[in-house]
């Protein structure tokens, strides 16, 4: 199955250059359909003609970003050496409300570019 996800230019570039290999999302109804072996087409929100195709190689399902941040390597989740020391699960509140996180849980989607 092929899924589509939008990404802002910064994480899009990190996936393109191989430094971001785990995409963090809410584990809502749309993401619950994703399975290992599926493909994801990432669309750059800064230029919708720019896309990347990746294969899902693993799924890490957690009850909260707090738990996820304690378990997964943040350098693979979109942080780099300059900001990983200050990384916080609260960083994800910009994208998802606390209520949505509590309702659905969260997922780290391990990917490999095709």
pLDDT digits (tens, 9 = 90+) for 30-81: 999 999 999 999 999 999 999 999 999 999 999 999 999 999 999 999 999 9
Q: What is the DSSP code string of 42-61? A: EEETT-TT-EEEEEEEEEEE
**Do 88 and 24 contact (CB within 8 A), yes or no?**
no
Q: SS3 for 95?
A: coil
Intra-chain end-to-end CA distance of the chain, in Å: 14
What is the pTM assigned to this prediction? 0.96
């Amino acid at each position: 199955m092929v899924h589509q996800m939008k990404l802002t230019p910064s994480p899009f570039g990190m996936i393109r250059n191989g430094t971001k290999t785990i995409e963090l999302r809410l584990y809502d109804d749309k993401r619950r359909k994703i399975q290992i072996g599926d493909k994801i087409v990432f669309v750059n929100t800064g230029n919708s003609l720019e896309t990347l195709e990746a294969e899902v190689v693993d799924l890490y399902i957690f009850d909260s970003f707090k738990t996820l941040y304690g378990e997964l390597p943040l350098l693979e989740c979109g942080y780099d050496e300059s900001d990983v020391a200050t990384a916080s699960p609260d960083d994800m509140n910009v994208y998802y409300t606390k209520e949505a996180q509590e309702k659905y849980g969260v997922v780290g989607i391990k990917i490999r570019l095709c």
